[in-house]
Structure formats: structure tokens, C-alpha cells
Amino acid sequence: MASGDRRHGKEPAALEEDNFPEGLHVLAVDDNHVCLRVLEAALRQCKYKPTGVMDGRTALKLLREKGEDHFHLVNTDVHMPDMDGFQLLELIGLEMDLPVIMLSVNGEKATMYRGIRHGACDYIVKPADIKEIRNIWQHVVRKNHVAVIHNSSDSDDADQRVARPVIAKGGAKSKKCSKKKRNDGEGSDDNRGRRRNTWKKPRVSWTSELHNRFLEVVNRLGVDRAVPKAILQMMNVHNLSRENVASHLQKYRLFLKRVTDDPTKPNHMGDSSESRRNASYMGMSHQGVPPSSALCPCGSHNIYTAPPSILGPYGLSIQPRNWATGTVDNGGLMPDTGSRHASGPPVGPFANTSDQPMQDAFPRIHFRSGKSYQSVLRQKLMEANTSVVPSSHPGTSSVAAEMPNGGQLESANQFPVQPREQISHFSGPMGMRPSAMGTHGNTQLSYLAGNCSNPWQNNVVPSSFAGSMVGAPLLPSSQVNVILPQINQTIFAPSSSEMAVFQNEQQNQMAGTNINNTTSVGVYSEQMTPLFNMASNAAPMEMTSVNFSPMNQMMVNGGSTSSPSPNLQAGNPVAPPAQMANGGGSSSSALPGHLDSSVAPPAQMVNGGRSSSSALPGHLGSSVTLQTQMLNGGEGASGILPVQDDPAGQQASDDQPTYNTSNFLKDIFPSMASQDFNPDAVW
């Protein structure tokens, strides 16, 4: 119960200095020679291995050449003449998935916001306190674990979890010393340099889609020849390892065995024994994802009809589930294996990705997982607001402790109400206007039943095989069609340019709606959020359970109720068929429109349901929306920021096109003069 132990705070709450991993390669980017020198010296002093370059372009080139494996961190100034610092942030983030700490001389919150929006995981205001420099290593650690630890948003020790050391001496494994001999040899060698090697393997989520394919292959191969390697090969799913398959196969075999041994096991499918087994198995493991029509041509893969497919009953059963409450209401048709995640449906992130197993991820611009992380950023921003140069480093328990509710708040407010104007941006499935959908439970129902998994597949369910969905083409929704393909392209073959376009698109749309209240983030952004997470994250590790919370929420929203809320309607397109089964099972239907829209998990609902930001004190609310914004990854959503001067269009002071020594001095000295002399200040 290692994880349990950690959750209960048995382990160090903070990233202790003891765990400082010396020799992290830090790429220092600053066009100013003096600055760079100082920075490098500081890094060195802090036991890092700085690799300084003079400008953004060189830095990017270097990064691309050496690969992210060579660097652990990037510390870059955002004020560079040769390249937009923010663009650099983004590029690095998207391409390399490296923690990037932005350096800024002005320390303005707008700059910080922007930097964060562009992927910075933290920022340091010059003159930097050496302590801050010293602490940046924690981002590497956090990066590795926040995602993994995240989820239990309701736990009060979340902050501690986030701050937990990861790569410390033991390499990737932060596991406590195993009681067994097996893990004793912690001191493996893969800890220091190869950050990559220290990374935990992304957790693959065996959705029904994936499982379907798996079963299909197994069936095709025959039980005897169905060995991991062969299966893997035939499955032809990217990012799926032999181990993954082996593991799944193991589980499957175990299941088969169990079924064989216990023929009395309930068979709700009423199928042949084989079918039953498969079906049951699916029930056992599938993630509430509608089966792929492609894999199961019967085309009846929905909760209303569960006919056998020519390919077999693979995962045909959908696990009706009330995502909102984390309970399962499948009419006893299926085991409740996938319902453990109270935070939402365990949907995978790869909607419509044709060959991607769902995995957890730790997106750069994704702070959901790190409640404390958010808190940290929030604090930093707050400090920035008050012109206080933060000395404490984000992630430290102390900081986290200051925002015990951070996670809850953010979640509750994550998906504010969608204004109609925005809704109109999206055409529903089959050309239905969102407003025309879901108003009546039947509408959704019929839609979902008729078109099977389209909406689900395209909008919500991160099906690994959605690409092969028979019904996919039926979905005329421009939104869906436009977005999904990009997901495929950006996630696993991240192209910064593509991503940029992607974001821009969204930004434009968002901007077009001129949202400026904290509850105006609409369906679009909600749906996009996960995409951004994915796209901006090379290691989709936490997608399933974290990144997609938004999606999950959407699902709850759209499928669980026939709420009259227009917002809800907006969410309908993503309503999972499975949810339809629940009909009005979700309690959300009884909730106010806003709540419906935001679909806050139970715990969060308590929080007020509606936009939490509005119920919170200024800064607090600000932070909440900040996350949303970050999640959105686009500036378009910035309008929701309570902070007035951080609108999308703000090109304000942080946009200094040029940054020369003169500016530097001007910026630095006043800054230094304005604060107590700090012997630790780097520059």
C-alpha cells in the first residue's frame, strides 16, 4: 500500500533538500551575456550543470539537437530580441516537455500569466534569489510525479503529495524501500542523467476500445499463439509496449481461468460461453468506453442493445455509470471495475487517436494534478501582484499548505457556464445545434443510440481506435472533425507548428465570443482542454484520470441528466452513451444550470457548484480561473481571468520586443533598489 501510505503523509511532505539531485542539466537561456553568466554561475553554485546559450534560437536548436534527454530543465528569459520568449516557452514545452522556468525582469503578473499560459511551469523574477534557483530542480521531480500522484483531489494531503520527492537518489522510483529484496537495489544507475529513464511508464488505460482490439487479435491468433509480442504486433497500437500487452494478457488469462473455474459466474449477456467470457471480461476491465464499431460491426454497441458481434462480444457492454457521483448504475449488467475513479470516468485522453493507448500524462500546461502546484503558481502570481518577489519555492509544503482548498475550488470552477453565443459555435452531431440537443433526455438518447458512439467517440471518449470507427464520418460536427484529427497529430507526433495552429484556432474562437466573466468558459474550451493537455504533453501519463477530468465532467454533464440548462446542452455532444443509460440518474439534474455545466464532482459541488471563483475572494478566484486558462492553453480564455490586465490580447509590457542591456539595467536596478539587499540575489 505504498500509495496509500504516501497519501497519508507518512513520507516527507516536501521536496527535501536531501533529495536534491545534483547535476541536473539546466539549459540557461538569456540573450544578455551578463545575465547569462550570472545565471550560469548561480546554477553551478546550486549544483546544477548549466548549459548556457546566448539566445532563444540557439537554445531551441540546441534542445532539438541534443534532445530533451540531455536536459532536465530550461531556465529562460522571456525577454529576448531574437525570439519571442513566450514562443520559446511553448516550443520547448510542446516539443520537449521539459520543465521550463521563465525568467523575467519585470515581474509583472501579466507576464507571469502569459508565461504560464505558454507552458512555463514556474517563473523567477530577476533579480532571482539563489534559493529559487536552487529549488527549480523540484520541477523536474514534480513533473514526474505530480501527475501520478494528483488525483485524489479531495484529500487534504494533496499538497504534500505533489511536493513529494521523486527522482531523488533512488531514481524514478520514489517507492519506499520495498520490503522485498526485489527493490532493494534502488541505487540503480538510471537516476542522475537520463531523466527519461527515470520516468515512470505511462499507465495504459485499457479501454474497451483497446481491449476490443486486444481481444480481436487474441482471437485471431488463437489462444495458443497469443503471446504478448505477437499480440502487440497485430494490435498495432502505438505506445503500447509488450509489457503492457503481457500484463493485459495476463489479466485476461486470469479472467478466463476464473470464468472457467467458476462457470456459475453470472452471465448477463446470455451469450455463448466464449462470448460471455469476453463480455464479462470487458465488463471487468473496460472503462466505460463505447466499443468501436469498427471492431464490432454489429453497430449496436450501446447500452440499449447488446447483440453479439461477428467479431465476438468483445467489450460490447458499456458500463453505464454515473460519473458525477462516481457510482455505477449499470443495472447489474456489468461488474463495477471501472468505477473506482470517483473523480470521473476513466476515459482516456486519446479521443479518436487511432493508435494510441490511453495513458496517464503529465502535461506541461496541465496543472490539474498539482493542486499545490496551482497554489504555488497562484501564490506566485499573487506575490507578483503585490510586487513581492517570492522567495519560497512552489511546491514546498509550506506554500501548499496555504491553499488547502485549491484543488477543490479549481475543479468546481473548471468548466463554467457556456454562453449561448459560444454554444452556437459548435454544431452538434448530425448538424444538430447544441441548443437543440439534450434538452430532452430523449433527444440525447436517440441521438446516441442512433449514431452510436460518435459523439462519445469524437468528443469524449478517448478511444484509441476511434479513428476506425465506422460511424465517425457521420459526425458532421465541425468541432469534432476539426479537433480530433489534430489530436492525433499533435499528441504523438507533436508538431509545434500544428499545435500553434490548433491553439490559435481556439483562441480565435474564444476571442470571438469575447468572454469576460469567470463563468463563460464554454463547451469548446472544455472540450479542448484535454486536447491541450495532450498536445502539450509528450508523456500522456495522466490523461486518463486527470487530464480528462474536464471531459469526465462533461460526460457527467451531458449524459447524466436532461437538465434544462443550456449549458448542459452544450455538453451533450460529449455525452457518453453509457450515461444515457443512467438517464436522469445523475443528481446533477437537480442542480442549477451552472452546476450542470461545470459538472463538479460531488465534493466540489459542495463547494458551491457554481463558479467557485465568483464565490471566492479575489485572488483565490483568480487562481481558479488561472488553471482553466492554463488548461485551455490558449489566450483566448484569458478573458475569464479576473485579473483585468491579463486579457488574451494583452501584449503589454511583457512583450518587450527587444531587450538590451539598457533595459536590463533599468529593470534590474530599480528592482534591486526596491527591495532589501539580498546577498542571495543572483542578479
Residues of the shown chain interacting with DNA in the complex, contacts defined by CB under 7 A: 1-4, 6-7, 147-149, 151, 173-176, 178-183, 185, 200-206, 227-230, 242-244, 246-251, 253, 284-285, 287, 337-338, 340-341, 346, 359-360, 541-542, 545
* Separation of alpha carbons 273 and 560, rounded Å: 33
* Separation of alpha carbons 1 and 73, rounded Å: 32
For residues 56 and 82, the answer to whether their CB atoms sit within 8 Å is yes
Q: Which three cell numbers stand for residue 247?
A: 500484463
For residues 199 and 540, the answer to whether their CB atoms sit within 8 Å is no
Cis omega (within 30 of 0) on the bond before 290? no
* Separation of alpha carbons 140 and 243, rounded Å: 26
- Residue 108 CB, shortest distance to DNA, in Å, is 36
What contacts 466, CB < 8 A, 6 or more positions away?
209, 292, 350, 351, 352, 353, 354, 457, 458, 472, 484
* Separation of alpha carbons 457 and 236, rounded Å: 19
Output 336 or 402, the one with its CB closest to DNA. 336
Query: Taking every pair of C-alpha atoms in the chain, what is the biggest distance, in angstroms?
Result: 81
- Residue 543 CB, shortest distance to DNA, in Å, is 10
What contacts 131, CB < 8 A, 6 or more positions away?
391, 393, 680
Q: What angle do CA 13, 18, 393 make, to 5 degrees?
A: 60
What's the burial of 200, exposed, middle or buried (CB within 10 Å: 0-12/13-18/19+)? middle
Q: What are phi and psi of 359, to 5 degrees?
A: -140, 165
Residue keyed to cell 451552472: 594
For residues 389 and 367, the answer to whether their CB atoms sit within 8 Å is no
* Separation of alpha carbons 633 and 627, rounded Å: 9
Residue keyed to cell 447524466: 560
The residues with which 542 forms a beta bridge, in sequence order, are 360
* Separation of alpha carbons 652 and 635, rounded Å: 13
- Residue 199 CB, shortest distance to DNA, in Å, is 8
Q: Which three cell numbers stand for residue 230?
A: 505477437
* Separation of alpha carbons 538 and 675, rounded Å: 40
What's the burial of 677, exposed, middle or buried (CB within 10 Å: 0-12/13-18/19+)? exposed
Residue keyed to cell 509550506: 398
Computed from CA positions of residues 534, 538, 540, 542, in that sequence, does the dihedral angle turn out positive or negative?
A: negative
DSSP for 659-679?
A: --HHHHHHHHHHHHHHS---T
Closest CA to 112 of 674, 646, 487: 646
